[in-house]
A = this chain, B = another copy of it.
Amino acid sequence: MATETYGKNINVDEMLEWFASFGQSDSRGVTRLLYSSAWIEAQQALKEKMEEMGLTPTFDRVGNLFGKLQGTEQNTKTILVGSHIDTVVNGGKYDGAYGIAAGLIATHRLFQQYGLPKKTIEVVSLCEEEGSRFPFTFWGSKNITGKCNLNDIKTLTDSEGISFLDAMKRSGFDPSSYAPPVRKDLACFIELHIEQGKILETTNNSLGMVSHIVGQRRFDIEIIGESNHAGTTPMHLRKDAMNTASYLISYINAKAKEIDPQLVATVGKLLATPNVVNVIAGEVKMTLDVRHHKEEVLDHFCAELYSYIDRLADEEGLDISISKWMDAKPIKMDESLTALAETIAAEKQLPFQAIVSGAGHDAQIFAEYCPTSLIFVPSKNGISHSPLEFTKKEDLENGVEILTSLLHRLAY
């Protein structure tokens, strides 16, 4: 096997521990926000690590770090593999970091075993995906694919009032020397990531081959009833916004289950007014997050919901308004790249399944730009964005093994 030599000595689990030492927080979590000192240290250390591992490191103008293993063929396009280096506040060790570590280890093993590839491989540590410091997501992958530039972030500030541009400059990426760091030479993008859900754990599969990243719609719903005395207002004279909210939440959950097993709908946030024990709630504001990988399923759900809201408002004699403030389309991964990963998994007798990603990933930005594959490994209890995030060593290694073979077939 390709992975039986020197490379095997680099342990993916240990590399993730090393990554987590940059930005370690009190509760054994990791906080590595874009352009912060922990982020700078991590990218600089990673640059050195790439050199040690035989890769040629380069930063682009926004802080994406590439480690190149030059292909022997002339004018080949680059096979890009990696994920993001930034984390949420007090996040885990695996989200993002695993995709970078896996890319590094796989590339290194191939180099040790087979020498230089025919086609160029680059491992990328994308500077930003989470949107945890500034209200902007996918800053790294959107720059590489030409989907954003400096204009998009020039008015943004973080929670401490520091501007995006200042933070960029202080970390060594002076916006005054910005030029769009678009990569026109990409053959494909491959990302390994933890699932952040518990489907693989439930089905006992080692790998999830992502077919789609879901489309996502988000809504604000406002119910206006009548605030009244909880003691002196008989039930039949009430316009109780909380009770009406309860009908709506129950409906949303039941309808999502009914329409499609992969449709998810969540009322995560609810604020009642005046929100006191002895007063009927006159107003409820709540959010709705709906996701599916097929636009027509989202359309169907929303049409049913709008019609129910009209009926409910009518029956209960309250005002209900709903407004959509996010509508991200579903994204399909590359079929042949994914099929190749599945063939390899079958050959290696690693149990895998097709899976839909319910969360957003850099892969969705690349997928509209070049052939892209996203592969999941299991997450214990589906937990992520938490110090409790955990994936077993064996599962981490299975992902690296698949990636190594995939790169071998593509690049050698």
Contact = CB atoms under 8 A, between A and B. Distances in A.
Nearest to A195: B232
Copies of this chain in the oligomer: 2
Interface stretch (A39-47, A177-185, A273-281): A273-281
A384 B234 contact: no
B237 A263 contact: no
B261 A234 contact: yes
Contacts of A274: 268
B264 A230 contact: yes
A269 interface: yes
A279 to B, nearest CB: 5
A196 interface: yes
A392 interface: no
Interface string A264-304: 11111111101111111100000101010000000000000
Contacts of A243: 249-250, 253, 267
Interface residues of A, number: 62
Interface string A250-264: 100100110001111
Given A277-B269, A287-B277, A382 B229 contact: yes
A199 to B, nearest CB: 7
A196 B229 contact: yes
Interface in A126-169: none
A279 B264 CA distance: 12
A293 to B, nearest CB: 11
Return the 6 tightest CB-CB contacts between A and B, nearest first: A197-B232, A231-B358, A246-B249, A230-B266, A232-B358, A277-B287
14 contacts: A197-B234, A216-B231, A228-B383, A230-B291, A233-B382, A235-B253, A240-B253, A243-B250, A246-B250, A246-B253, A266-B278, A268-B274, A268-B278, A268-B280
